[in-house]
Amino acid sequence: MSTLTGSGKLVRLILRRDRLLMALWIVFFCLILSSFAASLGEVFPTAAERQQYADNAGFVALYGRLSGTSLGEFVAWRAGFLPVVVGLIGLLTVIRHTRTEEETGRRELLGATVVGRHAGLAAALAATFGANLVLAALVALSMISQDLPATGSLAFGVELAAAGLVGLHQRDIPVT
């Protein structure tokens, strides 16, 4: 597949350019999830308190109804805005490594080397995909480290990653 020649080298270029930015975003999401788990568990220790908090009309409009009152479900519900943020970051990352490269003329510099016609797009998608997988794994780990159930934590991590991949906003995965 000669149109993809050089994709690996371009992935390396993307990671070289974005290593700090990607690491910061991933750490940011891990911190949000672990701090949500810690603080929400402390402030709303009982099922009744969580249900009462979630029945607020504003929250219902934003995040929908609480699907279950366990701490995991409560955290996943409250973190319902994160998939949008991850989706946007994924979108901007791909744009940054495709369209922006074209507009600045750097794409031409690369396009004249031994690089296939679709290698640029392939590399941008592969790098974003990889970063999202790392995000899923680390977010799941940080939730598990707060004593949330492993399956649900992993599901939530994958939800974020999926949102990062297709801008998919799937909010109501119950974490049980």
Partner 1 sequence: MTEAIRAEALVKTFGHTRALDGLDLTVRTGEVHGFLGPNGAGKTTTIRILLGLLRAGAGTARLLGGDPWHDAVTLHRRLAYVPGDVTLWPSLSGGEVIDLLGRLRGGLDKRRRAALLERFDLDPRKKGRAYSKGNRQKVALVAALASDVELLLLDEPTSGLDPLMEAAFRDWINEEERARGRTVLLSSHILAEVEALCERVTIIREGRTVETGTLTQLRYLTRTSITAELAGPPTGLAGLPGVHNLKTQDGRVRFDVDTGALDAALRHLSGVGVRSLVSQPPTLEELFLRHYRTGQPADTAQDGRRAEVAR
Interface with partner 1 by CB under 8 A: which residues? 2-3, 5-6, 9, 13, 16-17, 104-106, 108-117
Query: By C-beta, is 61 or 112 nearer to partner 1?
Result: 112
Run of H or E residues at 40: helix 7-43
Provide, rounded to whole angstroms, the least separation between the CB of residue 131 and partner 1.
17
The 10 Å Cβ neighbour count of residue 85 is 17
Provide, rounded to whole angstroms, the least separation between the CB of residue 19 and partner 1.
10
Name the DSSP letter for residue 67.
S
The 10 Å Cβ neighbour count of residue 122 is 19
**CA dist., res. 40 & res. 105, Å (int):** 48
Q: Which of 82, 84, 87 is nearest to 32 (CA)?
A: 82
Query: By C-beta, is 96 or 169 nearer to partner 1?
Result: 96
Provide, rounded to whole angstroms, the least separation between the CB of residue 6 and partner 1.
6
Query: By C-beta, is 13 or 66 nearer to partner 1?
Result: 13
Query: By C-beta, is 2 or 170 nearer to partner 1?
Result: 2
Contact 36, 79 (CB under 8 A): yes
Query: By C-beta, is 126 or 173 nearer to partner 1?
Result: 126
Q: Is 161 exposed, middle or buried (0-12, 13-18, 19+ CB in 10 A)?
A: buried
